Structure 1
Amino acid sequence: MTEGISAVPIVDLDPLVRGGPDKLIAARAIDQACRGSGFFYVVGHGVDEALAARLDALCRSFFAQDLDRKMEIRMEKAGRAWRGYFPVGGELTSGKPDLKEGIYFGAEHGGDHPRVRARVPLHGTNLFPDLPGFREAVLAWMAEMTRLGHVILEGMALGLGLPASYFADRVAADPTILFRAFHYPPPEGDAESWGVGEHTDYGLLTILRQDDAGGLQVKSGGRWIEAPPVPGSFVCNIGDMLDRMTGGLYRSTPHRVHNRSGRNRLSLPFFFDPGWDAEIQAIDTSRADGRADERWDRQNVHEFRGTYGQWLLGKVAKVFPDLGHAAGVT
């Protein structure tokens, strides 16, 4: 068992955002965090706080509506695109319902997009609620998070001693973009009701804006540590495919959410993942040591061969089994 960490580290991205000779300082800090916990906060990211506050307020307005209003954009209406709203308990982690509700968004794909015409799951148009400014705020946010994702991946590449564009050139030139807005109500009397149970993320990089309610926990060295809110920051963690590409040098770390604040919790995770057709290959397979019995799901990501789309479809179909069956994914 590894020793683990006592606190999630904070990385100042300003040198990478600005560019220049001192960006290696931030790159080394990212590398150290990825080798250690697989989780880190980022500050100095350049994301407009006014945009973040606007999106936060709009999401709270949506979740405060009656269920019937929210179900007007339920996920079933998007079909294979897997976009829209799901109610509390509508998403599963390891087969157990999560104590959260949410909205799924992704890159906007018009009807003439080749994958939409081919009826490829997870491709299509978003379902937006009838709230003024909601659509514009979400699309602006996804554009900002995409920019930030490229900045962080550049730092990871430099930290690994690779060319700055290594990940962008090989797997993220046309990244798979997935954005979620989650609302975690406080548990009612059951202290073991998890907002989301233990899991790892599927792709390259997750960029999370959390509110001040807390509840995020990270597994490190066999024990759970808190990742409390840090004002003006994002929480970043690496996913299974970056674990796969680095041969286990960077680990996709299990995490979970337990809303113990006694009030509503809002979480805005953005998943910056490999391109749909990107072939996932190890950078240095000699370092691979990710045994399946060490993971929460007993899978071995280092045995995976294929495209990211194939990996993602199998994962999402387990989260929403009914939609997976409807899309022909088992």
Structure 2
Amino acid sequence: MTLTSTNRPGMADEHPAVPILDISEYHDPATKDRFVESLRDACHHVGFLYLTGHGVDHDLSTRVTDVSREFFSRPESVKREIAMVNSPHFRGYTPVGGEMTGGRADVREEIDLGPERPVSHDTDRPWRRLQGPNQWPTSVPDFEPTMTQWGDQMDRLGRTLLDALAEGLEIDVDHFRNWVTPDPETTIKAIRYPAPAADQKPQGVGTHRDFGLLTFVLQDAVGGLQVERANEHYLDIPHLPGSFVVNLGEMLQVATHGYYKATVHRVVSPPAGIERFSTIYFFNPRLDATLNPVELPEHLAAGARGGASDDPSNPILDTYGDNILKVRLRAHPDVAERHHRDLLQSSIR
């Protein structure tokens, strides 16, 4: 496994493959500036990195994987007791083939979790429909407390990294903090990729960019995550023990005029006879947050690419709630048809 780090003295590679950054350096005055610069370079050139030294309890992350495996080992009938199609808030279990990326079914099963909030009856802002309770699997009693505790630790990590990203742009950290204050719209997604047959090459997850701010991936050693580098060439992102894989979302790309990069990536299905597990933490803005653009200093603005979507059928909307609702309606057509039929022909989609 070849990994390249940008935060080690003497490194000369301006465009590293997958940088490895130790965020504990951010808390040390002697190394903070070096970390901030390395993070800025990684997010400008690559949009993906490994994050170590993050302080999230290793045993807790192990339990996250364990409870996920336990849930996915349950009979299909038990898992479907918390089927997402029963939730207008897009929470709960999605069976294999139940989520779409790029118009094709992904070959994975998953459970989606979000902030526990009261149901909103605001009819003027459709994205308020995303607020509501989770569906927790009672068949795995440790699932809810484990995921809740892990989410609390990941929230702190997300806020710290967002501050460091603001400092890298030489702007007031409150510019980014205001997007997630008081509470970000987070999502935890626990995933199982089933073992394919020898003659199958299914789509684990199709090519896409994430749509929020920051994505943290806790992956096992099987592999399958790939990032596009150039000309549709994909680079493997193998497992690095003790780390999270981090990538940036489109909302951060737009707000920084493309200086920070939301990179296309995908997941290929595991080898024949082997299943893969991962748990993802999406750290995103408040639903009502409008991401006011950053005023970059002149020496950074010269390197900004422009952040608008290059897909006219998939514009990036300014208000995060509108953006995520658009994505959810496309990704989960069964939920959209059952609970949000009135939105299917509207401009939100």
TM-score when normalising by structure 1: 0.90
Residue 23 of structure 1 deviates from its aligned partner by 1.9
Distance in structure 1 (CA, Å) of the matches to 2:181 and 2:48: 20
Conserved 8 A contact 1:206-1:271: yes
1:79-103 superposed Cα distances (whole Å, 9 cap, x missing partner): x211000100000001100010000
The residue that corresponds to 1:108 in the other structure is 116
1:289-326 superposed Cα distances (whole Å, 9 cap, x missing partner): 34654x6x86454xx4x311011111110000121232
Matches within 5 A, 1:292-303: 292-293=309-310, 299=314, 301=316
Question: Percent of counterpart pairs with the same letter?
Answer: 35
1:61-120 superposed Cα distances (whole Å, 9 cap, x missing partner): 110111001101111222x21100010000000110001000010011135x6769x882
Stretch deviating more after TM superposition (33-42 or 278-287): 278-287
The residue that corresponds to 1:289 in the other structure is 306
Distance in structure 2 (CA, Å) of the matches to 1:292 and 1:139: 34
Q: 1:199 aligns with which of 194, 197, 208?
A: 208
Letter in 1 for 2:157: L
Aligned pair 1:249/2:249, yes or no?
A: no
Distance in structure 2 (CA, Å) of the matches to 1:321 and 1:69: 22
Q: Tell me: CA distance 1:5–1:258, structure 2 relative to 1, closer, same or farther (3 Å).
A: farther
Conserved 8 A contact 1:171-1:279: no
What are structure 1's unaligned runs of at least 5 residues?
none
What are structure 2's unaligned runs of at least 5 residues?
1-12, 345-349
The residue that corresponds to 2:53 in the other structure is 44
Q: Tell me: CA distance 1:86–1:170, structure 2 relative to 1, closer, same or farther (3 Å).
A: closer
Q: Tell me: CA distance 1:239–1:4, structure 2 relative to 1, closer, same or farther (3 Å).
A: farther
Q: 2:105 aligns with which of 70, 90, 97?
A: 97
Residue 7 of structure 1 deviates from its aligned partner by 2.4
Conserved 8 A contact 2:196-2:271: no
The residue that corresponds to 2:323 in the other structure is 311
Give runs of ≥4 in structure 1 deviating > 6 Å.
Answer: 113-116
Residue 142 of structure 1 deviates from its aligned partner by 1.0
The residue that corresponds to 1:329 in the other structure is 343
Q: Secondary structure at the match of 1:195?
A: strand
Q: Tell me: CA distance 1:5–1:226, structure 2 relative to 1, closer, same or farther (3 Å).
A: farther
Conserved 8 A contact 1:10-1:42: yes
Pairs aligned (count): 320
Distance in structure 1 (CA, Å) of the matches to 2:122 and 2:187: 16
1:200-252 superposed Cα distances (whole Å, 9 cap, x missing partner): 10101101101111100000122110000000000000000001001011121
Distance in structure 2 (CA, Å) of the matches to 1:329 and 1:62: 32
Conserved 8 A contact 1:83-1:103: yes
Distance in structure 2 (CA, Å) of the matches to 1:288 and 1:215: 29
Conserved 8 A contact 2:25-2:32: yes
The residue that corresponds to 2:24 in the other structure is 14
Q: Secondary structure at the match of 2:43?
A: helix
The residue that corresponds to 2:234 in the other structure is 224
Conserved 8 A contact 1:4-1:37: no
Distance in structure 2 (CA, Å) of the matches to 1:317 and 1:6: 36
Conserved 8 A contact 2:151-2:188: yes
Conserved 8 A contact 1:181-1:267: yes
The residue that corresponds to 1:209 in the other structure is 218
Q: 1:277 aligns with which of 288, 303, 315?
A: 288
Conserved 8 A contact 1:290-1:300: no
Conserved 8 A contact 1:313-1:329: no
Distance in structure 1 (CA, Å) of the matches to 2:150 and 2:343: 30
Aligned pair 1:154/2:168, yes or no?
A: no
Q: 2:245 aligns with which of 206, 223, 235?
A: 235
Q: Tell me: CA distance 1:5–1:21, structure 2 relative to 1, closer, same or farther (3 Å).
A: closer
Distance in structure 2 (CA, Å) of the matches to 1:160 and 1:313: 29
Distance in structure 2 (CA, Å) of the matches to 1:77 and 1:300: 28
Stretch deviating more after TM superposition (120-129 or 82-91): 120-129
